Structure 1
Amino acid sequence: MPTKREAPRLDRAQVVDTALRLLNEVGLDGLSLRLIARELDVKAPALYWHFRNKRELLDEMATEMYRRMTGGREEPAGAAGMSWRERTTAVARGLRSSLLAYRDGARVFTGTRLTGTEHGAGMEANLRALTDSGFTLEQAIRATTTVFTFVLGFVAEEQGMRTYPDDSRPAFDVTERARRLSGTPLAAEAGHYVFEGYDEAFEEGLALLVEGAAARYGVA
Structure 2
Amino acid sequence: MATRLDRKLVAETALRLLNDVGLEGLTLRRIAKELDVQAPALYWHFKNKQELLDEMATALLRRMTEPAAEAGDGHGGGDWRAMLTESCRQTRHTLLGYRDGGKVFGGTRLGDQSLLRPMESLLAAMGDAGFTPERAARAWFTTYAYTIGYVIEEQSVFPVPGDPRRDPAYDQEERMRSVGADYPLTAAAGAEMFGNIADGFDDGLRAVIAGIEATLLHGR
TM-score normalised by L of structure 1: 0.88
Residue 119 of structure 1, CA deviation = 2.9
SS in 2 for 1:111: coil
Residue 59 of structure 1, CA deviation = 0.4
2:63 is aligned with 1:68:
yes
2:142 alignment partner, one of 142, 146, 150: 146
For 1:170, the aligned partner's letter is: P
For 1:160, the aligned partner's letter is: S
**Equivalences, count:** 213
Judged with a 3 Å threshold, the aligned counterparts in structure 2 of structure 1 residues 11 and 218 are, in CA distance, closer, same or farther, namely closer
Mapping 1:140-179, distance limit 5 Å = 140-164=136-160, 170=168, 172-179=170-177
Question: Hey, what does 1:15 align to over in structure 2?
Answer: 10
Mapping 1:84-103, distance limit 5 Å = 84-103=80-99
Greater Rg, structure 1 or structure 2? 1
Question: Hey, what does 1:29 align to over in structure 2?
Answer: 24
Cα shift readout 1:73-109 (whole Å, capped 9, x = no counterpart): 4586888884211111111111111111111111000
For 1:56, the aligned partner's letter is: E
Cα shift readout 1:95-151 (whole Å, capped 9, x = no counterpart): 111111111111000000111102321221110010100110111011111000000
Q: C-alpha separation between the residues in 2 aligned to 1:87 and 1:75?
A: 15
Q: C-alpha separation between the residues in 1 aligned to 2:123 and 2:69?
A: 12
Residue 71 of structure 1, CA deviation = 2.2
Q: C-alpha separation between the residues in 1 aligned to 2:99 and 2:4?
A: 28
For 2:157, the aligned partner's letter is: M
Cα shift readout 1:3-38 (whole Å, capped 9, x = no counterpart): xxx754311111111111001221111111000000
The answer (yes or no) to whether the contact 1:62–1:108 under 8 Å persists in 2 is yes
Judged with a 3 Å threshold, the aligned counterparts in structure 2 of structure 1 residues 154 and 163 are, in CA distance, closer, same or farther, namely closer
Judged with a 3 Å threshold, the aligned counterparts in structure 2 of structure 1 residues 75 and 141 are, in CA distance, closer, same or farther, namely farther
Judged with a 3 Å threshold, the aligned counterparts in structure 2 of structure 1 residues 14 and 217 are, in CA distance, closer, same or farther, namely closer
Q: C-alpha separation between the residues in 2 aligned to 1:27 and 1:46?
A: 22
The answer (yes or no) to whether the contact 2:77–2:125 under 8 Å persists in 1 is no
2:186 is aligned with 1:187:
yes
2:38 alignment partner, one of 27, 43, 48: 43
SS in 2 for 1:176: helix
TM-score normalised by L of structure 2: 0.88
SS in 2 for 1:113: coil
Q: Give the stretch that moved more between structures: 174-183 or 201-210.
A: 174-183
SS in 2 for 1:71: helix
The answer (yes or no) to whether the contact 2:80–2:125 under 8 Å persists in 1 is yes
Judged with a 3 Å threshold, the aligned counterparts in structure 2 of structure 1 residues 21 and 81 are, in CA distance, closer, same or farther, namely same
SS in 1 for 2:63: helix
Identity of aligned residues (%): 48
The answer (yes or no) to whether the contact 1:162–1:171 under 8 Å persists in 2 is no
Q: C-alpha separation between the residues in 1 aligned to 2:13 and 2:19?
A: 10
Tell me the C-alpha RMSD between the 2 structures: 2.4
Residue 161 of structure 1, CA deviation = 1.3
Judged with a 3 Å threshold, the aligned counterparts in structure 2 of structure 1 residues 98 and 8 are, in CA distance, closer, same or farther, namely closer
For 1:128, the aligned partner's letter is: A
The answer (yes or no) to whether the contact 2:123–2:133 under 8 Å persists in 1 is yes
The answer (yes or no) to whether the contact 1:163–1:171 under 8 Å persists in 2 is no
SS in 1 for 2:170: coil
Q: C-alpha separation between the residues in 1 aligned to 2:72 and 2:92?
A: 16
Q: C-alpha separation between the residues in 2 aligned to 1:56 and 1:212?
A: 36
